[in-house]
């Protein structure tokens, strides 16, 4: 299978900016690592794809920007987090990866609640955070509203994940951004193309993402930007031993003492399952008062 990638283009004589991603392998890796049920795969797969698309869409030439999408709905999946970077790394987490109710659609599996979008550029720079209500309408719909209300970006967001018994057969997404100068009839034409298009994931199963976008936007003068600007995408976690240790420093002296007495502790990364073991010696170093 072809490598996951993000591509960019323009349509309608520069009235529209297009960002699209093929994320089949990324979502399949998430499914394997996090042991996700089909509905959790559908939901997190869309969210991971969206975080990668938004990191690119909202990038102001910062190059190492990340976007974190935190879904806190009242649906059976519980809290779901997806994080993507401009460089193409995505990782995620679902609190309840195997909900008891089967055959739910993604909108209901997430439910109503709050979506928090954080974007920033580590390590310096204050992250920019905004919140919108979740209406249980599905991730593409919720993000279209977020872009409209919080970023003043008029857009259409398409996301899809196709699960088969043996795993993820196709996943990806397209964001079509209408620039303010886009004439109304052109916007209407794009909306019609989107309504007419077959489900995105079935297109991605059949053809490369380049052809999928060209088909969805047929007759709209779509042109892909040179493929040297493509970004390879993957499920990649940025955790490290130092970062795993840092939260332990916040524990009180008694709690640290207990961990030391128990012969150390282990921290498991919620995004990738990597395990970090800390010896009593490591923990004792944390509890020492720092020199002024």
Residue 271 interacting with Zn ion (CB under 5 A): yes
Which residues sit opposite 173 in a β-bridge? 21, 159
| Separation between Cα atoms, residue 183 and residue 179, nearest integer Å | 9
222 binds Zn ion (CB under 5 A): no
How far apart CA 158 and CA 140 sit, in angstroms, is 6
Measured from the CB atom, the residue of 218 and 275 that comes closer to Zn ion is 275
Nearer to Zn ion, 58 or 239 (CB): 239
Q: Does residue 272 interact with Zn ion by CB under 5 A?
A: yes
Give how far Cα 50 sits from Cα of 89, 215, 226, 255, 262, Å.
Answer: 12, 20, 22, 39, 42
Q: Looking at beta carbons only, is 177 or 265 nearer to Zn ion?
A: 265
The interface region with Zn ion, picked from 52-60, 110-118, 237-245, 281-289 by CB under 5 A, is: 237-245
List the one residue from 210, 239, 280, 287 that touches Zn ion (CB under 5 A): 239
Place of tokens 């916007």: 187
Instruction: Please identify, among the stretches 73-81, 95-103, 140-148, 235-243, the one whose residues bind Zn ion according to the rule CB under 5 A.
Output: 235-243
Q: How far is the CB of 75 from Zn ion (least distance, A)?
A: 25
Closer Cβ to Zn ion, 240 or 262, answer by number? 240
Q: How far is C-alpha 23 from the geometric centre of its chain's CA atoms?
A: 10
The sign of the torsion formed by the CA atoms of 245, 274, 231, 31 equals: negative
Residue showing tokens 């199963």: 205
Query: Taking the complex as a whole, how short is the minimal distance between the CB of residue 273 and Zn ion, in angstroms?
Result: 7
Q: Is 219 left (phi over 0), alpha (psi -120 to 50) or beta?
A: left
Contact, 7 vs 42, CB < 8 A?
Answer: no
Question: Nearest-CA neighbor of 43 among 65, 20, 66, 76?
Answer: 76
- Using rule CB under 5 A, residue 16 touches Zn ion: no
The residue among 206 and 275 lying less far from Zn ion, judged by its C-beta, is 275
CB atoms within 10 A of CB 104: 20
The answer to whether residue 269 forms part of the interface with Zn ion (CB under 5 A) is yes
Identity of the residue, 133 or 238, whose beta carbon is nearer to Zn ion in the bound complex? 238
User: Near Zn ion by CB under 5 A, which window of 146-154, 199-207, 238-246, 247-255?
Assistant: 238-246
Segment near Zn ion (CB under 5 A), from 5-13, 71-79, 222-230, 269-277?
A: 269-277
Q: Which of 108, 127, 136, 115 is nearest to 50 (CA)?
A: 115
Binding residue for Zn ion (CB under 5 A) from 234, 237, 251, 255?
237
**Residues engaged in binding Zn ion (CB under 5 A):** 237, 239, 269, 271-272, 274
């Amino acid at each position: 299978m072809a490598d996951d990638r993000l591509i960019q283009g323009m349509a309608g004589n520069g009235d529209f900016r297009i960002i699209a991603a093929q994320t089949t392998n990324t979502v399949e890796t998430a499914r394997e690592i996090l042991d996700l049920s089909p509905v959790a795969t559908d939901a997190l797969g869309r969210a991971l794809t969206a975080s990668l698309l938004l990191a690119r869409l909202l990038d102001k030439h910062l190059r190492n920007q990340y976007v974190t999408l935190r879904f806190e709905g009242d649906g059976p999946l519980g809290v779901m987090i997806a994080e993507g970077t401009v460089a193409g790394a995505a990782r995620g987490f679902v609190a309840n990866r195997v909900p008891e109710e089967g055959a739910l659609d993604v909108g209901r599996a997430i439910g109503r609640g709050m979506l928090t979008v954080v974007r920033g550029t580590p390590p310096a720079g204050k992250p920019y955070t905004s919140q919108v209500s979740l209406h249980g309408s599905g991730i593409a719909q919720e993000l279209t509203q977020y872009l409209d209300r919080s970023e003043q970006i008029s857009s259409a967001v398409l996301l899809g994940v196709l699960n088969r018994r043996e795993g993820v057969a196709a996943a990806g997404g397209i964001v079509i951004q209408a620039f303010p100068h886009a004439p109304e009839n052109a916007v209407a034409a794009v909306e019609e193309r989107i309504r007419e298009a077959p489900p995105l994931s079935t297109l991605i199963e059949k053809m490369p993402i380049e052809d999928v976008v060209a088909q969805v936007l047929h007759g709209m003068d779509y042109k892909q930007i040179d493929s040297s600007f493509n970004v390879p995408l993957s499920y990649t976690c940025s955790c490290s031993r130092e970062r795993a240790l840092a939260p332990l420093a916040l524990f009180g002296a008694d709690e640290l003492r207990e961990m030391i007495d128990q012969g150390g502790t282990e921290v498991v990364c919620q995004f990738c399952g990597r395990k970090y073991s800390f010896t009593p010696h490591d923990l004792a170093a944390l509890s020492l008062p720092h020199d002024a």
